[in-house]
Amino acid sequence: MAFSLPSVVYTPQLLQAVDFEVERLRAWMSDSAIKHKVGTTPAPEPSHSPETQLVLDSWLAGKAMNVTVLTELISQLRALKPVTVYVTLAALPGETLRLHLVQWFRTNCREDVLINFSADRTIGGGIIIRTPNRIFDYSFKQRLVDGRLKLPEIIRHVG
């Protein structure tokens, strides 16, 4: 089964946290089955994040959760070789914009792209995108630097 990450899992740290929580859940299920067979009380089910729950819901899609299914999910998560893109904006994006940007990158670039967002108010606006091998600077600051020779020419012809 091919696996695609939900939009809420968009950073390497979130992917790592989901992997950790699924592994912990798998270990708990395995331990609980053993404890049930020997007649002892299993520990309570470990809690997990909403992101992990979305990944589980997506993976299970109506199937029963068991150790084998969770092991397969862990294998799929670890087999992902995502590319991380660094996006800098003048301010950190809200949830709606962040999810929109993640979805755009996953639709237009790669399904498994992960994005680290950062803020730098000195860029004035726009966006800077850093991939593993290129930087795309669409900031207002860069536009002003690029146009510094054009501005005096434009002003000379005014009036």
Using the predicted structure, report yes or no on whether residue 72 has a pLDDT greater than 50: yes
- pLDDT tens profile 87-106: 999 999 999 999 999 999 99
Mean pLDDT confidence for 37-55: 93
Please give the model's pTM, rounded to 2 decimal places.
0.81
C-alpha distance from residue 95 to each of 1, 7, 65, 127, 141 (Å): 29, 11, 30, 17, 25
111 contacts 83 by C-beta, under 8 angstroms: no
Which token pair is 127?
Answer: 């966006």
Percent of the chain whose pLDDT exceeds 90: 72
Percent of the chain whose pLDDT exceeds 70: 97
- pLDDT tens profile 7-19: 999 999 999 999 9
Q: Which H or E element spans position 36? A: helix 12-38
- pLDDT tens profile 123-138: 888 999 999 999 999 8
What is the band of 32 on the pLDDT scale with cuts at 50, 70, 90? very high
Picking from 1, 136, 19, the residue whose alpha carbon sits closest to that of residue 9 is 19
